[in-house]
Amino acid sequence: MNFSFLGKVKKLGITPVFLLVVFGNLWIWRVFKDNLLIGLFLVFSSFILYRSIKTGEFKKVLIIFMLILFAFQINKTDVRSLTYLNEQEKILQQQRLNEHPPVNITLGGRTIWIPLAHWMEQRPEVLVLYRIQENLGQVLSPNLYFFANHPNERVGIKEHEKFPYILLPFFVIGLLSLKIGKNISSLAVFLFAPIFLMGLFGTQIDVEPMSLFPFVAVSSVFGIEYVWGKVSKLKFLSIKTLTSGAFLILYILIFLQSYLFDKL
């Protein structure tokens, strides 16, 4: 084993947990297979984001990486008008229109009918709000990243396993442990901006919402490191060894399970 190489990696601030999460998922390998350069951008973006949050120093190069990733993502996205309705949605819209009761008011003996159903179901402004809400619901769903988007599979998109589902609790812990005020610039670039843009452009993406890969990965890394920080304070070496060993074995088994399921 080349220990000098490991030493150089450690000096760069790359931890074993970071390597496990960033490379121990099917998502990054699908991107590598599709486009090696974009896969490298994802890895470098994740590392720079990790170091930025770790040190509390915003790296402006993050903006460049995000623009490149999102440009590639948009190129692979079936961008539709926010007021577009497919045939199934048109049928559902008509059903909702029929469910609204007639609304009227009487003024001076004259009945004035109010097209409330039209305002609530057919106005372009309302359709835009519905579409953005639907898009955000997809993007913000943990199922999209940890459970192949089940049970909210998208029509026309083959859903894949992304991150091993064992990372979900660590992702939540990492998310809660982030100091938003201290890292607001980094989060604005790799969390809020992608969510906002996908709310507008939609989630019909052949390569999945890769612009959020760095944030999900890095939050999971911080979650594992936070938990390990608590476990490492235990006095019993056997407990620490057992805990880390059990986690690693379980992680590998779940990764293999996801790989085999994805191939079926």
**143-199 pLDDT, tens per residue?**
999 998 887 777 777 778 899 999 999 999 999 988 888 889 999 999 999 999 998
Q: Which of the four pLDDT bands, split at 50, 70 and 90, describes residue 53?
A: very high
C-alpha torsion sign, points 88, 94, 97, 99: negative
pLDDT at 9 over 60: no
Do the Cβ atoms of 202 and 77 come closer than 8 Å?
yes
Question: Mean pLDDT throughout 116-123?
Answer: 76
Q: Average pLDDT of the chain?
A: 85
Q: Is the pLDDT of residue 122 over 80?
A: no
Q: How many CA atoms lie within 13 A of 215 on its CB side?
A: 28
pLDDT surpassing 90 at residue 32: yes
48: left (phi over 0), alpha (psi -120 to 50) or beta: alpha
Give 3-state DSSP helix, strand, coil % of the chain, rounded to 5.
70, 5, 25
The pTM of the full predicted model, rounded to 2 decimals, is 0.84
Give the separation between CA 170 and CA 167, rounded to whole angstroms. Answer: 5
Examine residue 124 and say whether the peptide bond preceding it is cis (omega within 30 degrees of 0).
no
